[in-house]
Structure 1
Amino acid sequence: MGALLTVVVPIYNVSSYLVDCLDSIAGQTYPDLDVVLVDDGSTDDSGEIAERYVAANNRFRLIRQENRGLGAARNTGIDAAAGEYLTFVDSDDLLPPYALELLVGVLEQTGSDFASGNVALLTSRGLRQSPLHRGTHRFTVLRTNLRSRRNLVYDRLACNKVFRRSFWDKHGLRFPEGVRYEDIPLTVPAYALADAVDVVDLPVYYWRQREPGAELSITQRQHEVRNLVDRFAAVDSASRSLAALDGKLKDWYDETTLVNDLRIFLDLLPDVDQRYREAFIDLAADFLSRVDERVLDRLVARLRVAWRLARVRALPELVAVVAASRLGATPPVVRRGGGRYVQLPLLDAGHPAAPREAFQAESGIRTEVHELRWVDGRLHLRGLAYDAARGAAQPWAAARVFWLREITGKRRVLRLPSRPRRVAQAPSSVPYGWSGFSAALDPRRLRSRDGWRDGEWVFNIALVNSGGPHRRTLGLGDFRPALPARWVDDGVRIVPFPDRSGLRLRVERPRAWVTGTWIEGGTLLVAGRALTSPVGATIQLARSAGVLWRAYPVEVSTPATASEVAPGGRSAEDPGPGDPSLGAAITPEDGSAVGVAWTARVPVADLVAGAGLAGWSVLVGEVGASWRVALTEADGKTWELPVRVGYTTSRQVVGEVEVVAQPADDEVLSLRVLPPGPVASAVELADGMLSLRGELPSGLPGRGDLRIVLRRPVGADPFEVLPPDIELPGEVSAGWRVRIPLSGATAVPDGDWLLLYRWGPDQEPFDLPFDIAARRSLPRDASSGGRRLELLPERDRETLRLSTP
Structure 2
Amino acid sequence: MGALITVVVPIYNVRSYLVECLDSIAGQTYPDLDVVLVDDGSTDDSGEIAERYTSTDNRFRLIRQENRGLGAARNTGVEAAAGDYLTFVDSDDLLPPYALELLVGALEQTGSDFASGNVALLTSRGLRQSPLHRGTHRITALRTSLKAQRNLVYDRLACNKVFRRSFWDKHGLRFPEGVRYEDIPLTVPAYALAGSVDVLDLPVYYWRQREPGAELSITQRQHEVRNLVDRFAAVDSASRSLAALDRKLKDWYDETTLVNDLRIFLDLLPDVDQAYRERFRDLATDYLSRVDERVLDRLVARLRVAWHLARARALPELVEVAAASRLDATPPVVRRGGGRYLRLPLLDAGHPAAPRRLFQLGPGVRTEVHEARWVDGRLHVRGLAYDVARGAAQPWATARVFWLREATGRRRILRLPSRPRRVAEAPSSVPYGWSGFSAVVDPRRLAGRDGWRAGEWVFNVALVNPGGPQRRTLGLGDARPGLPARWVADGVRVVPYPHRAGLRLRVERPQAWVTGTRIDGNTLLVEGRALTRPAGATLRLARTAGVLWRSYPVEPADGGSVEAASVGAGAGSSPCGVGWTARIPVAELVAASGLAHWSPLVGEVGAGWRVAYADPDGGAWELPVAAGFTGARQTVGEVEVLARPTDDEVLALRVLPPGPVVHAAELADGMLLFLGELPGGQHDWGDLRIVLRQRTGADPNEVLPPDLELPAEVSAGWRVRIPVAGGSGLPDGDWLLLYRQGADASPVDLPFDVAARRSLPRDVAVAGRRLELLPDREREAIRLTPLP
Q: TM-score, normalised by structure 1?
A: 0.96
Deviations 1:572-601 (A, max 9, x none): xxxxxxxxxxxx33223xxx5x41211111
Partner residue in 2 for 1:736: 718
Q: Residues 533-557 of structure 1, C-alpha deviation per residue, up to 9 Å, x if partnerless?
A: 1211111001111100101111123
2:305 aligned partner: 305
Q: Displacement, 1:787?
A: 3.1
The 5 A counterparts of 1:601-750 are 601-750=583-732
**What are the within-5 Å matches in structure 2 for residues 176-187 of structure 1?**
176-187=176-187
Q: Which secondary structure state, in structure 2, belongs to the residue aligned with residue 16 of structure 1?
A: coil
Question: What's the counterpart of residue 738 of structure 2?
Answer: 756
1:122/1:194 Cα in 2 relative to 1: closer, same or farther (>3 Å)?
A: same
Closer, same or farther in 2 for the Cα pair 1:744/1:428, shift >3 Å? closer
* Amino acid of the structure 2 residue aligned with 1:528: G
Structure 1 residues 328 and 560 mapped into 2: Cα distance closer, same or farther (>3 Å)? farther
Q: Which residue is 1:575 aligned to?
A: none
SS at match of 1:15: coil
1:379-390 equivalent positions in 2, closer than 5 A? 379-390=379-390
Hey, what's the Cα distance between the residues in 1 that align with 2:563 and 2:776? 36
Deviation at 1:362, TM superposition (A): 4.0
Please state if 1:585 is matched with 2:567.
no
1:245 is aligned to: 245
Whether the 8 Å contact between 1:702 and 1:760 is mirrored in structure 2 is no
The letter for the 2-side match of 1:718 is P
Q: Read off the aligned partner of 1:247 and give its amino acid letter.
A: R
Cα displacement string for residues 629-683 of structure 1 (whole angstroms, at most 9, x for unaligned residues): 0011112111111000111221111111111101111111001111111111111
CA contact (8 A) 1:331 1:343 kept: yes
Question: Amino acid of the residue matched to residue 56 of structure 1?
Answer: T
Question: What's 1:580 paired with?
Answer: none
Look up the equivalent residue of 2:417 and give its one-letter code.
P
**1:783 CA drift (Å):** 3.2
Letter in 2 for 1:585: A
Offset of residue 467 of structure 1: 3.1
Change (3 A) 1:357 1:794: same
The one-letter code of the counterpart of 1:783 is A
Name the aligned partner's letter for residue 559 of structure 1: G
Partner of 1:457: 457
Q: Deviations over 1:235-275 (max 9, x none)?
A: 11111111111111111111111111111111110000011
Separation (CA, whole Å) in 2 of partners of 1:787 and 1:268: 35
For residues 143 and 685 of structure 1, the distance between their equivalents in structure 2, rounded to whole angstroms, comes to 45
- Do structure 1's residue 784 and structure 2's residue 749 form an aligned pair? no
- Please give the residue correspondences for 1:257-276 in structure 2 after superposition, counting only pairs within 5 Å: 257-276=257-276
For residue 803 of structure 1, the aligned residue among 779, 785, 788 is: 785
Other-structure match for 2:406: 406
- Residue 356 (structure 1) shift: 1.2
Structure 1 residues 676 and 546: CA distance shift in structure 2, 3 A: same
Separation in 1, partners of 2:468, 2:667: 43
- The Cα of 1:744 is off from its aligned counterpart by 4.3
Encode CA deviations 1:194-235: one digit per residue, 9 max, x unaligned: 111111111100001111111000111010001111111111
Structure 1 residue matching 2:76: 3-state secondary structure: helix
SS in 1 for 2:695: coil
- 1:377 and 1:186 map into 2 onto residues whose CA distance is 51
Distance in 1 (alpha carbons) for counterparts of 2:726 and 2:355: 55
TM superposition shift of 1:486: 0.3
Query: What does residue 103 of structure 2 align with?
Result: 103
Alpha carbons 1:128, 1:621 under 8 Å: kept: yes
Match of 1:573 in 2: none
The match for 1:441 is: 441
Q: Kindly provide the amino acid, as one letter, of the partner of residue 228 in structure 2.
A: L
C-alpha distance in 2 between matches for 1:649 and 1:528:
12
| Structure 1: segments with no counterpart, 5+ residues | 570-583
CA distance in 2, matches of 1:532, 1:682: 37
Task: Give 1:186 shift.
Answer: 0.8
* Deviation (angstroms), 1:700: 4.8
Specify the SS of the correspondent of 1:703: coil
Amino acid at match of 2:182: E
Distance 1:219 1:774 in 2: 39
Which of 590, 595, 615 pairs up with 2:577? 595
Tell me if structure 1 keeps the 8 A contact 2:140–2:201.
yes
Give SS of 1:645's match. strand
Q: Deviations over 1:500-535 (max 9, x none)?
A: 111111111100100111111111111111111121
AA aligned to 2:399 is: A
For 2:601, the aligned partner's letter is L
- Kept in 1, the 8 Å contact 2:334–2:340? The answer is yes
The root-mean-square deviation of aligned C-alpha atoms, in Å, is: 1.2
Choose 667-676 or 443-452, whichever is displaced more.
Answer: 443-452
Give the match's secondary structure for 2:83: coil
Shift of 1:449: 1.8
Counterpart of 2:540 in structure 1: which amino acid? Q
CA distance in 1, matches of 2:95, 2:127: 12
**Cα offsets for 1:735-781 (capped at 9, x unmatched):** 00001112345321122211111111222211111111111212323
Q: Map of 1:358-437 to 2, 5 A cutoff? A: 358-437=358-437
Give the total of aligned pairs: 786
1:262-319 deviations in whole A, cap 9, x for unaligned? Answer: 1111111000001111111111101111111111111111111111111111000000
Deviation of the 1:410 alpha carbon: 2.3
Consecutive unaligned residues of structure 2, counting only runs of 5 or more, are: none
Once the two structures are superposed, the pairs formed by residues 65-76 of structure 1 within 5 Å of their partners are 65-76=65-76
Q: Distance in 1 between matches of 2:466 and 2:742?
A: 59
Superposition misfits of 4+ residues, deviation over 4 angstroms: none
Deviations 1:591-621 (A, max 9, x none): x5x4121111111111111111113111111
Matched residue, 1:486: 486
Distance 1:694 1:360 in 2: 54
For residue 523 of structure 1, what is the aligned residue in structure 2? 523
Query: Would the alpha carbon gap of residues 29 and 441 (structure 1) be closer, same or farther in structure 2, given more than 3 Å must change?
Result: same
In the alignment, the residues of structure 2 paired with residue 727 and residue 86 of structure 1 have an alpha-carbon distance, to the nearest angstrom, of 44
- SS of 2:626's equivalent? coil
For 2:77 and 2:769, the matched residues in 1 are separated by 57
CA deviation map 1:400-421 (0-9, x unaligned)? 1111111222222111111111
Letter in 1 for 2:713: E
Indicate the residue corresponding to 2:134 in structure 1.
134
In structure 2, do the counterparts of structure 1 residues 650 and 75 end up closer, same or farther at CA, with 3 Å as the change threshold? Answer: same
**Partner SS, residue 740 of structure 1:** strand
- The alpha carbon displacement at 1:144 in A equals 1.6
d(CA) in 2 for partners of 1:410, 1:10: 57
Within-5 A mapping of 1:194-233: 194-233=194-233
For 2:443 and 2:30, how far apart are their aligned partners in 1? 44
Instruction: Report the alpha carbon displacement of residue 458 of structure 1 after superposing the two structures with TM.
Output: 0.9
Structure 1 equivalent of residue 148 of structure 2 = 148
1:34 alignment counterpart:
34
Structure-2 residue corresponding to 1:357: 357
Change (3 A) 1:244 1:803: closer
Q: Which amino acid aligns with 1:209?
A: Q
Q: State the match for 1:321 in structure 2.
A: 321
Contact 2:667 2:760 in 1 (8 A): no
Can you list the C-alpha shifts for 1:675-702, whole angstroms capped at 9, x where unaligned? 1111111112222211111100012534
**Structure 2: how far apart are the matches of 1:719 and 1:790?**
26
Equivalent positions of 1:51-130 (< 5 A) are 51-130=51-130
The residue aligned with 1:765 is: 747
TM-score of the superposed pair, with normalisation by structure 2: 0.98
How far apart are the structure 1 equivalents of 2:236 and 2:531?
Answer: 58
Contact 2:518–2:524, Cα closer than 8 Å, also in 1: yes
- Return the alpha-carbon distance in structure 1 between the equivalents of residues 521 and 486 of structure 2: 32
Assess, with a 3 A threshold, how the Cα gap between structure 1 residues 258 and 783 changes in structure 2: closer, same or farther.
closer
Q: Distance between the aligned counterparts of 2:349 and 2:657, measured in 1?
A: 63
